[in-house]
Chains A and B, each alone.
Chain A
Amino acid sequence: MNSITSNDVGREKLQILILDDEPIVCKRLKPAFLKAGYDVETFTDSAHANERICEKDFDIVITDLKMEGMSGMEFLTEVKNRSPKTEVIVITGFATLEASKESSEKGVFNFVAKPFKLTDILDMVEKLKKERPTSNVQ
């Protein structure tokens, strides 16, 4: 796990979990979200990410789909089961209509095909932040 977080007590900042088995994705998203004022935890292994969601509810989960072991679809299902309020954004290099449809049925907020612009995903999360109840957000 690669974790840079503020304390969980205040819960002032939106808590984001990023899961992608390609380290470059986590390495590039993490500083961008930190800079924008979010707390970020990144994982390249779905099993570890799954352990983490058992310990903590995240506001937003950004996950890849195709991974070894637990797939992204299984992971996001688990996320939604545990914390229905958590918004999920899927990022995938294998964007198919079926995967998009299935994600949508599972309540995924957005489905993004890789490669994508850094600003696009930041804007997406910013939009989510604005749409969420203000009590949770700074």
Chain B
Amino acid sequence: MKSAVGLNINRFLFWKRKEPAELFSIVFKKFRVIIDRNVKILELMADMGDKLSGEYIFDRQYILSTTKELNALMRQHVVDLGNLDMKKSEELSGSFERIRGFIEEEMKGTTSVSSKPVTCSMDDLMIPSRHTADQLGHENIMICEIKQKLKLNTPDGFFLTTRVFSEFMIHNDLEPYAEAYFGRLEKGHGKEAERALKDLRSRISEGTFPKPLVSGIGAAADRMERKTGSDRVSYAIRGCEWAKDRGSDRALQFRTILGIHRNGILPVCKDIIMDFICSSRLHYYPGSDSGVSVGLFAMIDLVTSGLLMTLDPKNPENEHMIVEGAFGLGGSLKDSSTGLDHYVVARDVPHSVLSMDVKRKDRMLILRRDGETQWMNIPHYTCRAPSLKPAQIEILAETAILMERYFKRPLSIAWGFDREDKLFILGVRPLTILADGRDGVSPVETAIRNAKVLFSGKGTVVQSGVSTGRVFVVRNDEDLDRFPQGAILVSAQSSPRFFRVIRKAKGILTGVGSSTGHLATMARELRIPAIVNCGEAVKTLCTGDEITIDASVNVVYGGAVKELQRFELIEEDLFEESEEYLMLRRILKHISPLNLVDPNSRKFSPAGCLTYHDIMRYVHERAIQKLIHLSTTYKHRRHVPVYRLETHIPLGIFLAEIEEKIKPGGGNIILEKDVHSIPMTAMLNGLHESGMWSTKPLSVDMGSFMSSLTRTFSYSLSAPEEVGMNLALISEEYMNLNLRLGYHYTIIDALISDRFEENRISFRFFGGVTDFSRRSMRVRFIGKILEAFDFKVELHGDLVIGRIKKASKERMVGKMKLIGGLIGYTRQLDVQLSGERFLDACVEDFISKIKGTMEVDSEQHNQ
């Protein structure tokens, strides 16, 4: 019995050992396909990211078709993994379907009533999938953005979503009564409509909320009490309309009810529902795609409060803000018996007070200790004092401009200062500038025609928009310390350190950078008009110059073109509020981020794949591991043609031969002289002959060192030990090399033969250890070199792609030598590249060194 089992095992092992010869060809073929597909996926992801800048016109169809293409590529990736590892493929399939499902949900946009949450805390709202206007209304989302993105003070609070309204209507069977009212109103039956309205009002008043809603609201109130440490939280409650066919500027404006404790929440909600349904402005009608949410904000003991309009709606051409203020809580503003101070403030820094009309204020609304509100008389010796101090006006104006720049439209802002002089934003809504007013504005085209264009089309727009201000050139950290409020940040570099001042900046212009860089992400988050990679053009700007950036068309004007800024402010539709923009942004959250970094980590698994990028990374890694595993496990068998290439330079390359022409006998090591692949040999020769590979240790300055520590990890930046080995697929005429050296990643795909029409080389390079500006400079260096040698070059973030095809075999061999030289030269170039001047010097240096190596091309460059 024992021997029989042993025999069976031996037979099994014998069978297993024979497998790799067949398996390898499949793995090899699949690997090749996976590599090609990876390139397509990366390019699609970069392309989708570029579309968020505002520089492109895209539509829903683009999102649908690109996502469909991406879905197909990812599905095929998962299927191909099945040829390598069926079990993992099945697991990965589950992750893929989950991510695809999320993306589909995002594309649908709105969620069904039952899947909406009942309540939502302000802190939860920035989770993109929950960031939906149909649940909360535009104004509530705006207040959350003010808190989360602009980091301004707002009251703490939570929201009751539009689900509460929908379920209240259903639970109390109110739709037929609403229909009866609106039906009679439409038919012009005035008296009958009035009776129906009375009936509807009384039914709302007597209505009850479904129990699950009541418990949901109670739980949210409990959380607030725990958070504030008080069991008697008092709320300011305000309704917020959402309507599919109406923008935020046309939403119904609700009054704010102050000083409500938790037992008063539901009755106030009923009042809000009544105001919404029975509004004389007819914002609601049965069957309409609209609803009302409710914001509950913890009361703050304010000493002064008021309203600010960032633009005077009557005279938008005057660059003024209008501020109205009174002592006490916001409720004081509504009291007709008390006067309101009126200030006209300049929009430009330092926000001078242009006029001030201080009124006598006899009483004010205050917050009592028990959370209730109370009117209190103002003593006669202070009743004529201004409600705002100059310093408060300045901070208020600065904050208002910051908010306006973010929302890209004039705003009406409810504000308040507490006893510690801390400014709170209590509410915000877009300010409607009437079309008549718009026509009255000086013609923007005349202003543009008369403006001096300093430069145009020079860089990459990463955030569209218009901004006027004074230039402040940033060269070092000391400059950042001095960066003034409201200036335009201009720098030859791009650095994550700019984050320190970015909130103060009205616009950004840099000499280097890309649409996927760190700075671009920050500019987009805060919606600061920004153009990066402008090259030398930024050097023409000096600190103190007044300029206007129109990032929507990539132009920089000299002087202030105020008409342009005003034109943008009163634009009806904002790109950043468009359904397409929001949808693409939400979808990309499930596509682009990379979570799988370390192949040795436990999380490096199909279940750990949270995005499409993760899936791509996982499949790629598994394919490489499989090939390497086959070569090391079956190294004694001649039919597994994977060899370690022995080179003087530590490249860590494994060669897999497509045509199996390497002569057996040398074990699993192959010497350079035995490699019979035109592209590979040419590349290695280029590396050696050019002498570009420097083994001298480089001194790393503190900036790049710190950057390497703090930078977010990504696939392209993984360290070699976390990535695995480098694999090249070769034949006599073909080479596909995936090469990681240090922290950058190179993919070369080349076919070189006597049939010149088939010849092609594609070179991709990305990653690096230093900060984005240096990496970006290295990418520009490579781009310049490749362009100088006739490659067609594309730059996407810190990815550079160079392509050349249909050149003679001799010329293509020369190009591969060039690439060999580039691999050596650029190995640590990001660390060396400390400035623009150095970049040009490096380009010259490289060309002079490579000329001797590339006989054919050197003639061209000697001319």
Q: Are A114 and B445 in contact (CB under 8 A)?
A: no
Q: Are A115 and B51 in contact (CB under 8 A)?
A: yes
Given A36-B448, A118-B553, verify A24-B61 contact (CB < 8 Å). Answer: no
One digit per residue, 1 when the CB lies within 8 angstroms of any chain A CB and 0 when it does not, for chain B 741-752 equals 000000000000
Given A24-B578, A24-B579, A35-B448, verify A115-B62 contact (CB < 8 Å). Answer: yes
CB distance from B408 to the nearest CB of A (A): 12
Q: Are A119 and B573 in contact (CB under 8 A)?
A: no
Tell me the A102-138 residues at the B interface (CB within 8 Å): 114-119, 121-122
Q: Are B578 and A117 in contact (CB under 8 A)?
A: no
B65 within 8 A of A: yes
A34 to chain B: which residues have CB within 8 Å? 444-445, 567
Q: Are A36 and B61 in contact (CB under 8 A)?
A: no
A32 to chain B: which residues have CB within 8 Å? 552-553
Q: Are A114 and B61 in contact (CB under 8 A)?
A: yes
Residue ID in chain B nearest A115 by CB atoms: B58
Query: CA A93 – CA B99 in complex, angstroms?
Result: 26
Q: Are B61 and A93 in contact (CB under 8 A)?
A: yes
B448 to chain A: which residues have CB within 8 Å? 35-37
Residue ID in chain A nearest B574 by CB atoms: A27
Q: Are B58 and A114 in contact (CB under 8 A)?
A: yes
Query: CA A34 – CA B449 in complex, angstroms?
Result: 13
One digit per residue, 1 when the CB lies within 8 angstroms of any chain A CB and 0 when it does not, for chain B 31-60 equals 000000000000000000001000111111
Given A32-B552, A36-B448, verify A118-B59 contact (CB < 8 Å). Answer: no
Residue ID in chain B nearest A35 by CB atoms: B444
Residue ID in chain A nearest B444 by CB atoms: A35
Q: Are A24 and B60 in contact (CB under 8 A)?
A: yes
Select B578's contact among A27, A29, A36, A114, beta carbons within 8 Å.
Answer: A27
Q: Are B61 and A22 in contact (CB under 8 A)?
A: yes
CB distance from A114 to the nearest CB of B (A): 6
CB distance from A44 to the nearest CB of B (A): 11
Tell me the B574-597 residues at the A interface (CB within 8 Å): 575, 578-580
Which residue, B51, B56, B59, B445, has most C-beta atoms of chain A within 10 A?
B59
B457 to chain A: which residues have CB within 8 Å? 119
Q: Are B59 and A24 in contact (CB under 8 A)?
A: yes
A20 within 8 A of B: yes
- How many of chain B's residues touch chain A, expressed as a range? 20 to 34
Query: CA A28 – CA B568 in complex, angstroms?
Result: 12
Select A114's contact among B55, B59, B444, B449, beta carbons within 8 Å.
Answer: B59
CB distance from A13 to the nearest CB of B (A): 8
Query: CA A31 – CA B441 in complex, angstroms?
Result: 14
The number of residues on chain A lying at the interface, defined by a beta carbon within 8 Å of a beta carbon of chain B, is: 23
Tell me the A64-106 residues at the B interface (CB within 8 Å): 91, 93
Query: CA A34 – CA B435 in complex, angstroms?
Result: 14
B571 to chain A: which residues have CB within 8 Å? 31
Residue ID in chain A nearest B579 by CB atoms: A24
Which residue, B457, B567, B580, has most C-beta atoms of chain A within 10 A?
B580
Tell me the B417-445 residues at the A interface (CB within 8 Å): 444-445
Residue ID in chain B nearest A27 by CB atoms: B573
Which residue, A25, A31, A35, has most C-beta atoms of chain B within 10 A?
A35
B850 within 8 A of A: no
Residue ID in chain B nearest A122 by CB atoms: B553
Residue ID in chain A nearest B439 by CB atoms: A4
Residue ID in chain B nearest A24 by CB atoms: B580
Q: Are B57 and A93 in contact (CB under 8 A)?
A: no
Query: CA A22 – CA B564 in complex, angstroms?
Result: 26
B444 to chain A: which residues have CB within 8 Å? 34-35
B681 within 8 A of A: no
Residue ID in chain B nearest A112 by CB atoms: B57
CB distance from A116 to the nearest CB of B (A): 6
CB distance from A75 to the nearest CB of B (A): 18
CB distance from A34 to the nearest CB of B (A): 7
B580 to chain A: which residues have CB within 8 Å? 24
Q: Are A119 and B59 in contact (CB under 8 A)?
A: no
Given A24-B579, A27-B573, A118-B552, verify A35-B564 contact (CB < 8 Å). Answer: yes
Given A35-B448, A36-B445, verify A118-B55 contact (CB < 8 Å). Answer: yes
B56 to chain A: which residues have CB within 8 Å? 115-118
Residue ID in chain A nearest B457 by CB atoms: A119
B554 within 8 A of A: yes
Which residue, B56, B57, B449, B567, has most C-beta atoms of chain A within 10 A?
B57
A118 to chain B: which residues have CB within 8 Å? 55-57, 552-553
Query: CA A25 – CA B579 in complex, angstroms?
Result: 12
B65 to chain A: which residues have CB within 8 Å? 93
Tell me the B53-110 residues at the A interface (CB within 8 Å): 55-62, 65
Q: Are B57 and A115 in contact (CB under 8 A)?
A: yes
Query: CA A22 – CA B59 in complex, angstroms?
Result: 7
A27 to chain B: which residues have CB within 8 Å? 572-573, 578
Which residue, A25, A36, A115, has most C-beta atoms of chain B within 10 A?
A115
Query: CA A96 – CA B357 in complex, angstroms?
Result: 65
Q: Are B553 and A114 in contact (CB under 8 A)?
A: no
Q: Are A37 and B573 in contact (CB under 8 A)?
A: no
Select B567's contact among A29, A35, A116, A117, beta carbons within 8 Å.
Answer: A35
Residue ID in chain A nearest B61 by CB atoms: A93
CB distance from B647 to the nearest CB of A (A): 44
Query: CA A121 – CA B553 in complex, angstroms?
Result: 11
B552 to chain A: which residues have CB within 8 Å? 32, 118
One digit per residue, 1 when the CB lies within 8 angstroms of any chain B CB and 0 when it does not, for chain A 1-35 equals 00000000000000000001010110111011011
Q: Are A117 and B59 in contact (CB under 8 A)?
A: no
Given A36-B445, A119-B457, verify A28-B55 contact (CB < 8 Å). Answer: no
A25 to chain B: which residues have CB within 8 Å? 57, 59
Q: Are A37 and B449 in contact (CB under 8 A)?
A: yes
Query: CA A20 – CA B573 in complex, angstroms?
Result: 16
Top-5 shortest CB links A-B: A37-B445, A115-B58, A22-B59, A27-B573, A93-B61
Given contacts A24-B580, A31-B568, A119-B457, 20 further A-B contacts (CB under 8 A): A22-B60, A27-B572, A27-B578, A28-B575, A31-B567, A32-B552, A34-B444, A35-B445, A37-B448, A37-B449, A91-B57, A114-B57, A114-B58, A114-B62, A115-B56, A115-B59, A118-B56, A118-B552, A119-B554, A121-B57
14 A–B contacts from the bound complex (CB under 8 Å): A20-B59, A24-B58, A24-B580, A27-B578, A35-B553, A36-B445, A36-B448, A91-B57, A93-B59, A114-B59, A115-B58, A115-B62, A118-B57, A119-B553
